[in-house]
């Protein structure tokens, strides 16, 4: 979707300001938001592409006015309701900050326990697939990012759509994020690093040598005209 998450090439946000000796988290609630997101993800009822898609549902004005872990909370709340972990009325109470004081249940089988954390984080389960899918393009091929504007999740940033590039690396076969996010299957296909010259993206004033590499799937690409 053409949302506020797709920031590449926008102007007006000001200089990049790095914080010296920055802590990993800036507040206690950020720690808990991070932990809750990973712990609930460990139930494996949804995938990372769905999570990203859920975060992108935040209205643009709100997304630009809130922080990274607020985006995470927004996404987590929606996933919890969509997958039946909590009821909409319970979410409404959470959003009002109401603490339910019921009798706590025992930790369920399947919930992430402290002793499972190291294994969870070292798991190499990833988006790479072993399926013998032939590549549609070869390194060196001239390609164009298709001019796609789906209302759902896509990993093609707006700034490369309709632009010409060259396949620089064939990374191999991966789950297709765009379909996976919508629950429409893994659609395994090749991912390539596509090299776009800065002048192709930003015009004649850009430095001649500079370029941007973007990772795109077969379904995002067509033969350059």
Partner 1 sequence: MSDHDDHDHDDHDHHDHPHNAPLTDVQLRVRALESLLTDKGLVDPAALDALVETYETKVGPRNGAQVVAKAWLDPAFKQRLLDDASGALADLGFIGRQGEDMVVLENTASVHNIVVCTLCSCYPWPVLGLPPVWYKSAPYRSRVVIDPRGVLRDFGVQLPDEVEVRVWDSTAELRYLVLPQRPEGTEGMAEPALAALVTRDAMIGTALVRVPEVVPEVVPEVVPEVVPEVVPEVVPEVVR
Judged by CB under 8 A, the chain residues 151 through 210 that form the site for partner 1 are: 155-157, 159, 169, 171, 174-175, 177, 191, 193, 201-202, 207, 209-210
Identify which of residues 141 and 155 has a Cβ nearer to partner 1 in the complex: 155
Identify which of residues 33 and 167 has a Cβ nearer to partner 1 in the complex: 33
Do the beta carbons of residue 193 and residue 140 sit within 8 Å? Answer: no
Identify which of residues 104 and 134 has a Cβ nearer to partner 1 in the complex: 104
Backbone angles phi, psi at 212, to 5 degrees: -125, 130
User: Is 143 a residue that touches partner 1 (CB under 8 A)?
Assistant: no
Give the one residue of 2, 59, 62, 116 binding partner 1; rule: CB under 8 A. 116
Report the alpha-carbon distance of residue 219 to residue 205 in Å, rounded: 31
Give the one residue of 50, 166, 212, 221 binding partner 1; rule: CB under 8 A. 212
User: Is 97 a residue that touches partner 1 (CB under 8 A)?
Assistant: yes
Identify which of residues 26 and 224 has a Cβ nearer to partner 1 in the complex: 26
User: Is 124 a residue that touches partner 1 (CB under 8 A)?
Assistant: yes
Number of residues binding to partner 1, judged by CB under 8 A = 98
Do the beta carbons of residue 181 and residue 53 sit within 8 Å? Answer: yes
Q: What is the DSSP string of 102-155?
A: SPPPPPPTTS--GGGHHHHHH----SB----PPPS--TT-EEEE-----SS---
Report the alpha-carbon distance of residue 143 to residue 195 in Å, rounded: 10
User: Is 77 a residue that touches partner 1 (CB under 8 A)?
Assistant: yes
Q: Is 196 helix (H, G, I), strand (E, B) or coil?
A: strand
Residue 14 neighbours by CB under 8 Å, 6+ apart = none
> Rounded to the nearest whole angstrom, what is the least distance from the CB of residue 162 to partner 1 in the complex?
16
User: Is 133 a residue that touches partner 1 (CB under 8 A)?
Assistant: no
Do the beta carbons of residue 72 and residue 48 sit within 8 Å? Answer: no
> Rounded to the nearest whole angstrom, what is the least distance from the CB of residue 73 to partner 1 in the complex?
6
Give the one residue of 61, 122, 132, 151 binding partner 1; rule: CB under 8 A. 122
Sites for partner 1 among residues 8-47 (CB under 8 A): 8-11, 13-19, 22-29, 31-36, 38-40, 43
Give the one residue of 50, 58, 144, 217 binding partner 1; rule: CB under 8 A. 217
Identify which of residues 5 and 141 has a Cβ nearer to partner 1 in the complex: 5
Backbone angles phi, psi at 95, to 5 degrees: -70, -20
Report the alpha-carbon distance of residue 33 to residue 47 in Å, rounded: 18
């Amino acid at each position: 979707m053409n949302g506020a998450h797709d920031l590449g090439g926008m102007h007006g946000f000001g200089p990049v300001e790095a914080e010296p000796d920055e802590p990993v988290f800036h507040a206690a609630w950020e720690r808990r938001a991070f932990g809750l997101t990973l712990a609930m993800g460990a139930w494996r009822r949804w995938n990372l592409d769905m999570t990203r898609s859920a975060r992108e549902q935040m209205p643009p004005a709100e997304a630009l006015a809130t922080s990274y872990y607020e985006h995470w909370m927004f996404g987590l709340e929606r996933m919890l309701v969509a997958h039946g972990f909590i009821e909409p009325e319970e979410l409404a109470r959470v959003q009002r900050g109401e603490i339910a004081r019921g009798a706590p249940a025992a930790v369920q089988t399947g919930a992430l326990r402290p002793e499972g954390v190291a294994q969870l984080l070292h798991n190499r389960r990833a988006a790479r697939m072993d399926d013998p899918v032939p590549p549609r393009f070869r390194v060196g091929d001239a390609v164009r990012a298709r001019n796609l504007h789906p209302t759902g999740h896509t990993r093609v940033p707006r700034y490369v759509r309709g632009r010409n590039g060259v396949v620089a690396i064939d990374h191999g076969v991966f789950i297709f994020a765009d379909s996976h996010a919508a629950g429409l299957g893994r659609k395994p296909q090749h991912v390539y690093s596509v090299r776009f010259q800065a002048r192709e993206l930003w015009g004649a004033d850009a430095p001649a040598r500079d370029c941007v590499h973007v990772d795109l799937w077969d379904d995002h690409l067509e033969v350059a005209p």
